[in-house]
Structure 1
Amino acid sequence: MSKTRLLFVILVALCFCLACQDPEERRKQTHYDQARKCFDNQDYVCARDALQKVIEIDPGFAPAYSSLGETYLRLGNMGKAFSIFKKAGELNPGNSDIQLRLATLYLLQKDFSRAKQLLQRVLKQEENNLSALFLMAGINTQEHDLGKAVDIYERIIDIDPSRERAYTSLASIAIQRQDPLRAIEILKNGIDENPKSLPLRLGLYEIHARSNNMDRAEAIIKEALAVRPDEPKLYLILANHFASRSRWEDAEETFQKAIAANPANIRSYLAAASFYTKQDRREKALALYQKALSLQPENIGLMLALSDFYISCNELEKARHHINRALGKKPDYLPAHLLKGRVLMAERQYNDAIALYADLRKNFAEPDKINYLQAMAHLQADEVNAAKTSLAKIGPNSPEYPSARLMMARIYYSERNLAQAMEACKQALAVSPQNLQALAMLGDIHASKQDYKTAEALFKRMITIAPANPAGYYNLGLIYRLHKNHQKAASAFEAAVARDPKHLQAFVNLVEMLIADDKVDQAIARCDHRIEEFAGKPQSLAPLLYLKGRLMLLQNRPAKAESLFKQSILQDDNHLPAYYSLAELYIQTGEDSRAVENFKKAAGQNPDQVMLPMMLGILHYMRQDDEKAMAAYRRALEINPDFAPAANNLAYLLAERQEDLSHALDLAKRARTSMPDDPRVADTLGWVYFKMGLYDAAVREFSASLEKLPANPTILYHLAMTYHKKGDFRRAQSTLEKALRFEEHFKEAEEARSLLANLKRQKQNTGVQ
């Protein structure tokens, strides 16, 4: 029985054991019995109404107030609960349980002074009251009086060595004091006293994992499993541990053990399904979701998990079916409505999504979460000012505040408003000091301002906070690469890949560092190993096969390169670089005419193969026959209207020719929605905006593209052109210089040099610095 339930029963028993047969007493007892039944059945509205009738009969009856306070807590009405508990405390000042509940409510309101007064009163009566001691230690911790908190937690352990939370709290304080060895010692002492304790063993695991001592972390989980072999949670932690180290077979086997340990535990199915989804093994993932739902067919959370899976697979009708099922069972369930908004976003029905979020904000008590999602919808609809307005409504006390400030920072950064972007990052970090995304963006901002020393320090801070996370190493590698420090850059990219073997950008940079140092054979060996590792995962294989094809060209092996580029396209027909490299190969070897005829013939024989007209379009484009290129892209879109690569390329050509820009914009937006993570697609949308004279929108897209391809000279050139049109000549010049520093001979290099020379002459003539 829970402590709350026990308190309720005791209060009822004390109240009525001596009840007389007075009619008012009988009425009071009847209502109180009814309140107890309602409370037990979790019908808190019924319990509230019955308790209010008890208080009407006897306004001085303290137990009814304390019970009503508990009921209001269940109803989520903290304000009402607080006032009711105050009344209960006034009526029964000697009841320590009521005083403790009231102290907890003061603590939640950050009124530490009053909370401590009540706790001191309880401890004066019961000096070893562990609940009061835990609360007092918590207040001392929040007030940063860590010495007093330590004394209290040690006192709790002296009183009762089985109190796991005292050990974990002491260990947490040791970590705050940057003394992980002391934290480990504390947790080991706790385990000696509580050998079967999961929290203590998991705390020990976390310390070693954060320190990147992964072998010791693994050993700790295995030791825990030896003690608790039937605990699915431990198998799930171990499975995720294996996955983080790319030990895919071990991970899969351990997920299966988690399911076998307790076949009724739904969490194990969901965790394993998530693993298979990340592995691009969607059929296995779907089977697990369906199995879980067959075990608990009325579980609304499972319906929504399956809906979320279908959204990720772009099977939106199936997602909508399960969302509607959930809403049929619980019409006011906010998570289901939020998923409905995600479906609308995936369908590019942005105005409908915005309207849905507006209705939800009126009817649900979580406006900050809804404001955040509405801001995302506004951004997708290219309504940047409306997005800013939604984000501005989210205050610093909201759980959504760090994410909202970070989104605002991205907006400012994409507009190249670096001062405000920096301020938004600092606001996020003020409430979430270890927010890696905010630190990464702040580092990028300093790098944009050429303050590389500060950027480097921020990226190193990311590594200190999360040594197992690849982001800090990857960003550090980009800084070193910019300064042509190949050795340090390669080391940083190597560290990023070691922590996340699927981090393609880090791997590509690492290979390029090997190429720059004339270590092509090593680069090929790395590619071969990675291709073998990702066998059966098409979206991961495509860029690796393409990368190896590039390496074959460096070794003057065009036939092998051609084969690899084709394999890349077959693995993932959305992978644009492979198309272009294959076309360039045909042009360079003089095989373009034969290739065009071959692809035409293949397209005639396979009219439903979308990649064939796509390839023809790129070949025609490279042969400077834009009309035929556009016809080929249109044919690809006839076969598959949602084929993003063709939409992207047709949009780019229309923009280049200044033709039908509204259609170009629609195509580019469709491609951007279908391929949100492809920086080349963002570049195309930016170029369309540029041609339409929408320069702020163009800057946003080019900036988003450069987040993924920071060293791409063409995208930098596009951004510089946009700055020039905006009259921001200083940024135009620095961006052109950056493009030419990365690569001296890119496609637009001569235009870039000419514009840069003009800007420098203009600067000299006007004397503007």
Structure 2
Amino acid sequence: MNFQECPRARSLRALTVFLLALLVALAASCTSPEKAKAEYLRQGEALLKDRRWQEATIQFRNALQIDDNLAAAHWGLAQAYEKLERAGDYVEELQRTVKLDPNNMPARVRLASIYLTAYGQKKEGNDQLLAEAARLANEIIARDDKNPDGYILIANVMYFQGGGSPEAAKEAEKKINDAIGLDPQRVESYMGLARLYHLMNRNSDAEGIYKKAISINDRSSLAHGEYGIFLVQTGRTPEAEAEFRKAVEVDPENRDAHKVLASYYLVNQKLDKAEEAYSAWAHKDWDQAEGRARLADYYATVGRFDDAASLYQDIIKNFSDYTRGHYRLGEISLQRGDLQGAGAQVEELLKRDPKDVDALFLRARMRSASGKPRDAIADLKTVLDQDPHSKLGLYFMSDALYRDGQFEQARARAGELERYYQDFLPAKLLQIQISLDSGDFDGARRTADDLLKKLQDATPNGELTPQLLADLKTNALLLRGKASLGLGQKAPGADAGKFIAAARADFEAARTIAPNSPLPYVNLADAAGAENKAEEAQQQIERALSIDRTNFQALTALINLGTATGKLDEARARVEQLAGEQPKSAPLQYLLGQAYRSGNQQQQPDPQRAESAFQRAVQDDDNYMPAYSALAEIYVGTQQPDRAIAEYKKITEKRNDDFVAYRNIGLIEAGRGQLDVAADYYRRVLSIRPDEPVAENNLAALYGDYGKGNAEEAMRLAQDVVRRYPAEPGFADTLGWVYYRKGLYRDSVEQLQKAVAGAAKRGGDNSLYRWHLGAALAKAGDRTAARRELQKCQELYAAEQQRAGKAPTPTPIEDVRRTLESL
């Protein structure tokens, strides 16, 4: 018999199968995210146990993409970030863990300890940190009144809240002894007491406690390691070595002990022992990429780039998913001046993930180094969109903005960096640069000294790679050298020579660290120029250009040297050739304009050729701001104020926070007698940058010279500028003349005497300052001194009328004569 299925039965069964499948799918859609989340969490925790920190972060982040409130994933991330030494991320994840999980006491202990350490380093303005530490410590004790870590935290809170008074110290000491009483064999509690004694400057008591802890358990790597750190902190560095070695000996599997020993040798420049210690630490996890990377990073730190690159090549060959290896290889290539090699690693990383943060950082650094700050800014914007508070993102962004001439935005980003991460070393670099730009060479030098001192003790970590540390040291040396050069230009005789020698030493040290960077050679050329060694300066510039033939700073130095030595035609020809090879390069067109704008007795300036080149630059790149400024300066020099203002307005249309352009428009308007318009522009400058000294001074001067504006405002502005720039004669003259207008003649004389003395010391004695001083002395009743100053004023005025190449000083000579006659 031929059995056939009923069509209707077949269709019903098909419908049943479909409905069952749909129910299964619906059930899966409800449970699979939970299962996936749990699986990611399980894998992350397993990777933590295997010490595969970087890979663990990926799994925990995957879990958080499903459920951002998963406390266990935040806790796992915190532990991974701690091992990767990503301090900012570590704290953030601890905060999230504590917020989401009221039962996680270890997270509370760690976070409270961090808050207390931060408060101890800087108490002013950080009361919230102490309050948070107190809250967490109380939560720990409320959960478990026999938790020794809770007692230790509360002891430190009590000490700080009591301002370190004897009573507070006594109570804190008692509280930690209570913690010790809970378990007299617990080494960690003795460490808490020893650290408290050290905080109280009771170092002999602290040492006694460290030794007692070791006597209780001489196999404790923690006790030996902490004692070693104490010995370093108290200036007994050689003795610390034995304790660090003992920590490794008693617990050879303790990676932290190995790391501390290796870092000790590195910081103290015992490189033979350092390599041995780093190798031992690395071989504890040689079967993992991060283990081998420890030794590779050591090689990079001490300048053994070939060894570092070779080991990293081996790492990415054996561990193809270790993206950090490509980043580090790219950094090493960048350090060696191999932009092509660095680019290859960036390309590989971005092929895997177009938003890879490490790759974008590296490409941004490459682009900044290649004179393409705007391209770097675009990369860094992508980074900061992902993580608005990224330390490195804010640092590199502030640097790129500064290189692009966006000074106020650079200051804003640097301000965020300073606000969020006060101890982040790279943030100090921009502070040094800002001090240099404002003429505060002493301040720049002091900040650079402090940074270089801190860099001596710095070792690579998850944020500060060996190459970044090397870059920081190179740039700090270059900036300190520039500050010394600036001081040398102002100093007399032998002192000038000392400053220049110091600058040269810094530039040579920078060259040793970064022999394939053109910048140390450019700065060495500046030092040679300051010593009138033109031939050496030329050699240094040629060396820089052999590394990068279109380097902006090197070509600028070439033009300046050619102008000074009568070889400007050669410099012009060289820049013209490069501009011809790269006709669409706005920076090269700009440099060509600068070459023709410069001049000397043998080679006169050619404003028309310069104007043409600058116009070509803005045609090639309408966002290249220096070319607009240069065009404006040409028009000012050729008595075309309307055209100059038009160029500055093009800048303000594109960048409405460019205070320099507004200030320069104000100067032009004041120069042609449009005083109210000038005042409006100066006020616009101060609305953007309230401490801009030229705008402050000139706004005050409008009152002093013409009675324009508010007397009290003028006095406040002038006083502020003189307070910040006490050695600047022009600012003292403005304040003195404002006092004169106010009838404060004694105060006026004091400031105007400073102005005259300062100008004379600089070789800038002039009739206007003498007129102001003479008039103030006359009003103050010192007729003899007034006559002397006014006669000197007439003498200087006569000489100024005869000088070539510089307009006479605008001194009201008829007023001078009338005042003299009245005396």
When normalised by structure 2's length, the TM-score is 0.49
Structure 1 residue 762 displacement after superposition? 4.7
Cα distance in 2, alignment partners of residues 371 and 274 from structure 1: 24
Identify if the C-alpha distance between structure 1 residues 155 and 300 changes in structure 2 by more than 3 Å, giving closer, same or farther: farther
Of 748, 754, 757, 2:764 maps to 754
Structure-1 residue corresponding to 2:406: 383
Identify if the C-alpha distance between structure 1 residues 503 and 152 changes in structure 2 by more than 3 Å, giving closer, same or farther: farther
Of 543, 566, 580, 1:624 maps to 566
**Does the CA-based 8 Å contact 2:326-2:349 persist in structure 1?**
yes
Identify if the C-alpha distance between structure 1 residues 261 and 122 changes in structure 2 by more than 3 Å, giving closer, same or farther: closer
Structure-1 residue corresponding to 2:226: 203
Report which of the two structures shows the higher radius of gyration computed on alpha carbons.
Answer: 2
3-state DSSP class of the match of 1:298? coil
Structure 1 residue 140 displacement after superposition? 4.3
Cα distance in 2, alignment partners of residues 649 and 204 from structure 1: 63
3-state DSSP class of the match of 2:210? helix
Partner amino acid, structure 2, of 1:399: Y
The answer to whether residue 342 in structure 2 is matched with residue 319 in structure 1 is yes
Structure 1 residue 299 displacement after superposition? 1.5
3-state DSSP class of the match of 2:230? helix
Identify if the C-alpha distance between structure 1 residues 299 and 581 changes in structure 2 by more than 3 Å, giving closer, same or farther: same
Of 402, 406, 421, 1:399 maps to 421
Partner amino acid, structure 1, of 2:43: N
Partner amino acid, structure 2, of 1:216: E
Cα distance in 2, alignment partners of residues 133 and 45 from structure 1: 34
Partner amino acid, structure 1, of 2:215: D
Cα distance in 2, alignment partners of residues 619 and 229 from structure 1: 60
Structure 1 residue 298 displacement after superposition? 1.5
Structure-1 residue corresponding to 2:727: 734
Q: Could you tell which deviates more after superposition, 277-286 or 181-190?
A: 277-286
**1:452-491 pair list within 5 angstroms:** none
Partner amino acid, structure 2, of 1:215: P
3-state DSSP class of the match of 1:178? coil
Structure-2 residue corresponding to 1:218: 241
Of 311, 317, 321, 1:298 maps to 321
Q: Deviations over 1:669-725 (max 9, x none)?
A: xxxxxxxxxxxxxxx9xx999999999869x9xxxxxxxxxxxxxxxxxx9999999
Cα distance in 1, alignment partners of residues 39 and 216 from structure 2: 40
Structure 1 residue 361 displacement after superposition? 3.8
Structure-1 residue corresponding to 2:201: 178
Cα distance in 2, alignment partners of residues 322 and 663 from structure 1: 37
Cα distance in 2, alignment partners of residues 121 and 661 from structure 1: 76
Cα distance in 1, alignment partners of residues 556 and 411 from structure 2: 38
**Does the CA-based 8 Å contact 2:98-2:104 persist in structure 1?**
no
Q: Could you tell which deviates more after superposition, 326-335 or 649-658?
A: 649-658
Structure 1 residue 364 displacement after superposition? 3.8
Structure-2 residue corresponding to 1:128: 146
Structure-2 residue corresponding to 1:741: none
Structure 1 residue 112 displacement after superposition? 6.1
**Does the CA-based 8 Å contact 1:231-1:261 persist in structure 2?**
no
Partner amino acid, structure 2, of 1:286: A
**Does the CA-based 8 Å contact 2:194-2:209 persist in structure 1?**
yes
Partner amino acid, structure 1, of 2:190: Y
Cα distance in 1, alignment partners of residues 634 and 214 from structure 2: 62
**Does the CA-based 8 Å contact 1:232-1:259 persist in structure 2?**
no
Structure 1 residue 120 displacement after superposition? 4.4
Structure 1 residue 382 displacement after superposition? 0.8
3-state DSSP class of the match of 1:128? coil
3-state DSSP class of the match of 1:206? helix
Partner amino acid, structure 2, of 1:382: G
The count of aligned residue pairs is 557
Identify if the C-alpha distance between structure 1 residues 155 and 649 changes in structure 2 by more than 3 Å, giving closer, same or farther: farther
Structure-1 residue corresponding to 2:178: 155
Cα distance in 2, alignment partners of residues 690 and 235 from structure 1: 65
Alpha-carbon RMSD: 7.0
Of 40, 43, 62, 1:41 maps to 43
Identify if the C-alpha distance between structure 1 residues 112 and 225 changes in structure 2 by more than 3 Å, giving closer, same or farther: closer
Structure-2 residue corresponding to 1:282: 305
3-state DSSP class of the match of 1:382? coil
**Does the CA-based 8 Å contact 1:211-1:467 persist in structure 2?**
no
Cα distance in 2, alignment partners of residues 32 and 720 from structure 1: 61
Partner amino acid, structure 2, of 1:282: F
Structure-2 residue corresponding to 1:576: 525
Structure-2 residue corresponding to 1:90: none
Identify if the C-alpha distance between structure 1 residues 285 and 380 changes in structure 2 by more than 3 Å, giving closer, same or farther: same
Partner amino acid, structure 2, of 1:576: A
Residue identity over aligned pairs, in percent, reads 13
Cα distance in 2, alignment partners of residues 725 and 248 from structure 1: 57
Of 350, 357, 374, 2:373 maps to 350
**Does the CA-based 8 Å contact 2:511-2:521 persist in structure 1?**
yes
Structure-2 residue corresponding to 1:604: none
Structure 1 residue 383 displacement after superposition? 0.9
Identify if the C-alpha distance between structure 1 residues 227 and 653 changes in structure 2 by more than 3 Å, giving closer, same or farther: farther
- Specify every segment of 5 or more residues in structure 1 that has no aligned partner in the other structure, as ranges: 1-27, 53-66, 87-97, 419-440, 448-454, 471-496, 544-568, 601-607, 668-683, 701-718, 738-748
Cα distance in 1, alignment partners of residues 366 and 616 from structure 2: 19
**Does the CA-based 8 Å contact 2:571-2:595 persist in structure 1?**
no
Structure-1 residue corresponding to 2:800: none
When normalised by structure 1's length, the TM-score is 0.52
3-state DSSP class of the match of 1:734? coil
Structure 1 residue 350 displacement after superposition? 2.6
Identify if the C-alpha distance between structure 1 residues 581 and 408 changes in structure 2 by more than 3 Å, giving closer, same or farther: closer
3-state DSSP class of the match of 1:41? helix
